[in-house]
């Protein structure tokens, strides 16, 4: 009897592998959509099945043999092969969409060019063209209000800039189609007015100070602006009317000249008469308002794409000019950016770009005496990138050469005539090499758990004698289970920002601001070390009522040494290099996407703790934003954004000419936009009205206000 039982048990054990039944779920790796009709079969056999409408499959009983391979395939997706012995029943299998063929879609090229995909782990946020359009803003910088932990500063005349997680605007690298557009001024911040809202395909924000490929010197993060150039033939015209006599007209054209050759053009002319108010030290009396300020802007861009034998050659030119006059200050600014980019089919990129800027400033405190400053800036950048993949190792190499040039002429025009009293021709050259190496460890057999380890190195060398080696480390854990996708990550890194040309030129004029300052003979590079722990999670619902729920949390710590502080004093700049600052913070955001297929709700919050408020002024200690977007299939849409900014600190000179900080109370605001999109004949119309406040927080010493702004626009698209 006992023997009989043993025989029975061993029979059961032996027979178990002889018959198997497999079941599971096949989903799209990008958006967790079920893939209906995917094939699941054992390689070299006739055993197989297809998934049902919800992506589920069940293989009938079969006798597995050792070494069997399970194949999951679907048209347009990369085939997946798994060892059957590794398959844990039941499982979810994710398929990744196959890359498009070369020349088929420019966007796939833009993605391949995008170094953001190859960077250290970080939190990324993006806003696409359709969302930007629905948001109804006249300036790109306003669109950034949508993104958690990002804040805009500046105004319509002095330029608009972006802060990420309490950083200064100069600590954010801004790329326009892969070209660094941070200017060469003391602030080093990029003016986002360079490109018009309607000419953007996508905005991307990479948060964090540890990004060796793109974020050199960017302690806050990186912004990628990807401009619009489509391969379909179309033409769009848009006109906008708004408060303060805002008038704006745009024309964009996409022309496929040949099957390998695409041309796109974008042009905008706009004018505005903003009403600004001055604080005393700008105008030497109580706050006065001046309605007579006039601004005239033009943006032009031309893009050519040529595809040949798997290579792409791209040439583009952007032009931006701004003229404005306010009492005591006239400014004419012109920027030209030209770039040539060559991509090969084996992931090599060479880009050559030249940025030319001219800024003519006329300042006067008294009508009889004018100081005229001309600034000519030039930057030549050669960049090569190469992506190498070898099994589970990926290596991204970057080589950069920057030639920066700044010519400054200062003239005085008084009752006796005009005389040139100062001229400087500053230039410097920088070479940089960076590498990011990543290893992927698949923890489970299905590839639903990944651990990716990143190691980054960067070396920067300047002709003026600075040399720094920095390194970065990151971990990214990707974990999918059912409809959940979790991505906890960690990153740590060092980063260096070299003094700009103006800062170096003013090195001899360091002065003391605080007791802890030390006077240095020359400037040291600014040094940053940061770490971040975060997680992004997403749940894809099965019900058609709602698509997904996503959550992102990040704790970050940024320590900065040798921070250079440049402040205008009279018509001069005075500068100091202060010990250190620590910014600690937390960022949390949650989104419910596509409720009843059209409503998206987003909430985000950030808390900051900045140790030196003189170095980091105008950074709200807390912020909260709530967004609701609704898009009806019939064409109606509505976007609202509500945000609160907590108190912040700014600097000013007191009665004894000492630099001090002052507290600025928090504020809140609502942005609203509504529109209707419809087709009539072969034309697509988009009628829109939006209202928001124009913020002006360039600096406490100038003016600080908000103005109600309303605008209406109509766009007509053909093609």
Partner 1 sequence: MAQKIGLIIIFLLLTSCEPEKYWGSQLEGEALLETARISGQVTNFYTAEGVSGARLKFAETETAANIYGFYYLNYILSEDELRNKPVPVTITANNYYPHSDILTLNSADLELNYVLKYGAPLILRKAFVPANLGLSALVQAEVLDYQGAESITEVIVRLYQEKPQQGYEYYPMRRLGSDNTLSANYSVNVPFSVDYKAAGFEYHQSFDLIVVDNEAFDDTVHFGINLRDPDVPLFPISD
Closest CA to 315 of 341, 354, 343, 344: 341
Nearer to partner 1, 22 or 276 (CB): 276
Residue 261 CB, nearest approach to partner 1 (Å): 15
Between CA 435 and CA 385 the distance in angstroms is: 10
Backbone angles phi, psi at 578, to 5 degrees: -100, 150
Rounded to a whole number of angstroms, the minimum distance from the CB of residue 498 to partner 1 is 11
- Per CB under 8 A, residues contacting partner 1 are 280-281, 284-286, 311, 313, 340, 342, 350, 352, 354, 365-366, 368-369, 371, 380, 382, 403, 405, 408, 412, 414-416, 419-429, 462-465, 501, 504-505, 507, 569-572, 653-655, 657
> What is the chain's percent helix, strand, coil content, to nearest 5?
10, 65, 30
- Which of 351/713 has CB closer to partner 1? 351
- Minimum CB separation of residue 114 from partner 1 in Å reads 21
State which residue, 419 or 611, has the beta carbon closest to partner 1: 419
Question: Which has the closest alpha carbon to 194: 221, 171, 162, 222?
Answer: 162
Between residues 46 and 285, which has the closer beta carbon with respect to partner 1?
Answer: 285
Which residue lies nearer to partner 1 by CB, 89 or 418?
A: 418
Query: Smallest distance, Å, CB 315 to partner 1?
Result: 11
**DSSP characters over 5-69:** HHHHHHHHHHHGGGSEEEEEEEEETTT--B-TT-EEEETTSS-EEE--TTSEEEEEEE---TT-E
67: phi > 0 → left, psi -120 to 50 → alpha, else beta; which?
left
CA distance 217 to 691: 36
Task: Provide φ and ψ at 476, rounded to 5°.
Answer: -135, 120
* Residues 453, 492 contacting (CB under 8 angstroms): no
| Nearest-angstrom CA–CA distance, 155 and 144 | 14
Choose between 327 and 579: whose C-beta lies nearer to partner 1: 327
- In angstroms, what is the minimal distance from the CB of 370 to partner 1? 10
Q: How far is the CB of 544 from partner 1 (least distance, A)?
A: 49
User: In whole angstroms, how close is the CB of 655 to partner 1 at the nearest point?
Assistant: 5
State the Cα–Cα distance between residues 641 and 147, nearest whole angstrom: 11
**Within a 10 A sphere around the Cβ of 391, how many other Cβ atoms?**
7
**Shortest gap between Cβ of 268 and partner 1 (angstroms)?**
29
Cα end-to-end distance, the chain, whole Å: 84
250 vs 116, 231, 299, 713, 715, CA distance in Å?
Answer: 30, 19, 9, 11, 9
Query: Beta 56-62 vs 48-50: how paired, if at all?
Result: unpaired
Closest CB to partner 1 among 69 and 288?
Answer: 288
For the bound state, the minimum distance from the C-beta of residue 307 to partner 1, rounded and expressed in Å, comes to 12
Q: Report the candidate in 455, 361, 467, 443 with the shortest Cα–Cα distance to residue 408.
A: 361
Q: How far is the CB of 476 from partner 1 (least distance, A)?
A: 35
Pairing of strands 659-664, 648-653: antiparallel
287/708 with CB nearer partner 1: 287
Helix (H) and strand (E) counts for the chain? Answer: 6, 40
List, in sequence order, every residue forming a beta bridge with 265; answer none if it has no partner.
Answer: 253, 302
Round to whole Å and give the CA distance between 269 and 249.
6
For 429, the enclosing helix (H) or strand (E) is strand 417-442
Closest CB 365 distance from partner 1, rounded Å: 5
Closest to partner 1 by CB, 382 vs 603, is 382
Count of CA atoms in the C-beta half-sphere (13 A) of 426: 23
- CB distance 400 to 386 below 8 Å: no
Q: Among residues 401 and 549, whose Cβ is nearest to partner 1?
A: 401
* Torsional sign, CA 361, 366, 367, 368: negative
Rank residues 382 and 674 by Cβ distance to partner 1 and give the closer one: 382
- Closest approach of partner 1 to the CB of residue 305, in Å: 14
Min separation Cβ 313 and partner 1, Å = 7
What tokens does 95 get?
A: 């398929």
Question: How many whole angstroms separate alpha carbon 49 and alpha carbon 58?
Answer: 7
Cβ–Cβ < 8 Å for 200, 227: yes
Q: How far is the CB of 657 from partner 1 (least distance, A)?
A: 6
Q: Residue 187 or 534: which CB sits closer to partner 1?
A: 187
Structural Rg of the chain based on CA atoms: 28
Q: Which lies closer to partner 1 via its Cβ, residue 423 or residue 481? A: 423
List, as one string, the DSSP characters of 2-15: HHHHHHHHHHHHHH
| Residue closer to partner 1, measured from CB, 23 or 344 | 344
Rounded to the nearest 5°, which phi and psi values hold at 193?
Answer: -75, -10
Is the bond into 90 cis (omega within 30 degrees of 0)? yes
Nearer Cβ to partner 1, position 261 or 342?
Answer: 342
Min dist CB 337 to partner 1, Å, is: 14
């Amino acid at each position: 009897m006992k023997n009989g039982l043993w025989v029975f048990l061993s029979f059961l054990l032996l027979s178990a592998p002889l018959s198997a039944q497999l079941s599971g779920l096949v989903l799209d790796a990008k958006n967790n959509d079920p893939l209906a009709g995917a094939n699941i079969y054992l390689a070299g056999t006739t055993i197989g099945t297809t998934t049902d409408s919800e992506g589920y499959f069940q293989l009938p009983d079969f006798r597995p043999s050792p070494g069997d391979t399970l194949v999951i395939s679907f048209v347009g997706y990369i085939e997946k092969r798994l060892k059957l012995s590794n398959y844990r029943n039941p499982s979810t299998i994710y398929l990744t969409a196959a890359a498009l063929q070369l020349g088929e879609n420019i966007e796939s090229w833009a993605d391949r060019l995008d170094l953001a995909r190859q960077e250290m782990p970080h939190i990324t946020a993006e806003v696409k063209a359709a969302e930007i359009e629905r948001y109804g803003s006249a300036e790109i910088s306003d669109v950034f209000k949508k993104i958690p932990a990002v804040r805009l500063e500046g105004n319509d005349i002095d330029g608009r800039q972006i802060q990420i997680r309490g950083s200064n605007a100069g600590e954010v690298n801004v790329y326009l189609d892969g070209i660094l557009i941070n200017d060469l001024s003391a602030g080093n911040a990029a003016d986002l007015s360079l490109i018009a809202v309607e000419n953007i395909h996508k905005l991307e924000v990479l948060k964090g100070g540890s990004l060796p490929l793109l974020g050199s010197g960017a302690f806050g993060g990186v912004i990628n602006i990807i401009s619009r150039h489509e391969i379909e033939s179309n033409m769009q015209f848009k006109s906008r009317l708004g408060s303060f006599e805002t008038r704006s007209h745009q024309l964009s054209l996409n022309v496929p000249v040949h099957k390998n050759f695409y041309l796109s053009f974008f042009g905008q002319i706009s004018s505005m008469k903003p009403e600004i108010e001055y604080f005393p030290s700008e105008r030497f009396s109580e706050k006065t308002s001046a309605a007579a300020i006039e601004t005239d802007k033009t943006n032009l861009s031309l893009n050519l794409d040529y595809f040949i034998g798997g290579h792409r050659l791209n040439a583009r030119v952007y032009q931006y000019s701004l003229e404005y006059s306010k009492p005591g200050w006239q400014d004419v600014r012109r920027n030209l950016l030209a770039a040539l980019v060559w991509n090969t089919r084996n992931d090599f990129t060479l880009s050559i770009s030249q940025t030319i800027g001219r800024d003519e400033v006329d300042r006067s405190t008294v009508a009889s005496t004018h100081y005229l400053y001309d600034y000519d800036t030039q930057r030549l950048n050669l960049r090569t990138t190469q992506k190498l993949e070898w099994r589970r190792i990926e290596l991204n190499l970057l080589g950069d050469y920057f030639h920066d040039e700044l010519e400054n002429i200062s003239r005085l025009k008084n009752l006796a005539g005009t005389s040139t009293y100062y001229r400087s021709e500053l230039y410097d050259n920088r070479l940089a090499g960076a590498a990011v190496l990543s290893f992927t460890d698949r923890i489970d057999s299905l590839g639903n758990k990944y651990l990716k380890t990143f190691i980054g190195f960067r070396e920067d060398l300047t002709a003026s004698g600075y040399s720094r080696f920095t390194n970065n480390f990151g971990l990214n854990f990707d974990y999918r289970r059912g409809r959940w996708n979790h991505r906890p990550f960690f990153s740590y890194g060092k980063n260096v920002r070299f003094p700009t040309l103006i800062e170096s030129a003013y090195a001899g004029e360091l002065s003391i601001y605080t007791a802890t300052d030390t006077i240095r003979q020359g400037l040291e590079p600014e040094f940053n070390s940061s770490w971040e722990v975060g997680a992004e999670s997403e749940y894809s619902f099965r019900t058609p009522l709602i698509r997904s729920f996503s959550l992102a949390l990040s704790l970050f710590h940024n320590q900065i040494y040798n921070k250079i502080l440049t402040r205008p004093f009279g018509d001069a700049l005075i500068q100091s290099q202060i010990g250190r600052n620590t910014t600690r913070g937390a960022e949390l955001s949650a989104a419910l996407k596509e409720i009843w297929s059209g409503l998206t709700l987003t909430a985000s919050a950030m808390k900051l703790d900045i140790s030196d408020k003189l170095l980091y002024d105008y950074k709200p200690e807390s912020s909260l934003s709530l967004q609701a977007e609704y898009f009806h299939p019939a064409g109606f849409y509505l976007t609202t954004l509500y945000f609160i900014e907590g108190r912040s600190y700014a600097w000013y000179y007191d009665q004894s000419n000492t630099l001090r900080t002052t507290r600025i109370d928090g504020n809140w605001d609502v942005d609203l936009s509504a529109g209707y999109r419809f087709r009539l004949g072969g034309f697509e119309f988009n009628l829109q009205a939006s209202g928001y406040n124009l913020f002006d927080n360039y600096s406490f010493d100038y003016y600080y206000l908000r103005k109600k702004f309303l605008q209406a626009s109509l766009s007509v698209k053909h093609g």
